[in-house]
Amino acid sequence: MPDVIRKESKVVDFLLDPQSLWHLYHANDAEKVRKFLYEHHAQQLGISVEEVKSGYDDPIHVTRTYIDVEKREKLRKEYGVKGYEIRQKPGEPVFIPAYTAHQVCNLANCIKVAADFVSPISIEKCMKLKEEFREQLREQPKPWKGDVLQMEQMLL
């Protein structure tokens, strides 16, 4: 096969294939995902879950563990949590509902553009998230300070 055709084929594949792979978990499953991540981290470190909870920040907010295929299968089978997969192509937005645990694997070079917004039906979840961010003190080089989400300003 000529090099030109091979190169053009790669360009076409690149444009048609997703550039980012997202996994989202329903907000109602956040506690199960958190428990799974605490237990996974404890197993990795060879310590108890309580030691992990007292010595490390919330595993949902601190991106220490990528939930790969094997972990997603374990999360589904043992915890009853089924995630949602989004294959994002260039130019496509991804909207993440409040309190939805999520991860992204960028499959190509990319630039992330994010905008936070609060809908009236998600205010309670956003306020809970604000409090969780304030509790992140152990692993962050600069602890979360004040209202990171600036909830009060958004609500005015």
Q: What is the pLDDT along the chain (156 residues), one digit of tens a residue?
A: 444 444 455 555 545 677 899 999 999 999 999 999 999 999 999 999 999 988 888 888 887 899 999 999 999 999 999 999 999 998 899 999 888 999 999 998 888 888 777 777 877 777 777 777 666 665 555 555 555 556 666 665
Domain, as residue range, for 104: 18-111
3-state helix, strand, coil in the chain (%, to 5): 45, 10, 45
Residue 92 lies in a domain: yes
Burial of 139 by CB count in 10 Å (0-12 exposed, 13-18 middle, 19+ buried)?
middle
Q: Could you give the number of structural domains in the chain?
A: 1
What is the pTM assigned to this prediction? 0.70
d(C-alpha 60, C-alpha 31), whole Å? 9
Q: What is the DSSP letter of 29?
A: G
Residue 94 lies in a domain: yes
For CA atoms 71, 42, 96, 105, the dihedral sign is: negative
pLDDT at 49: 93
Residue 97 lies in a domain: yes
pLDDT at 72: 97
Burial of 41 by CB count in 10 Å (0-12 exposed, 13-18 middle, 19+ buried)?
buried
Residue 74 lies in a domain: yes
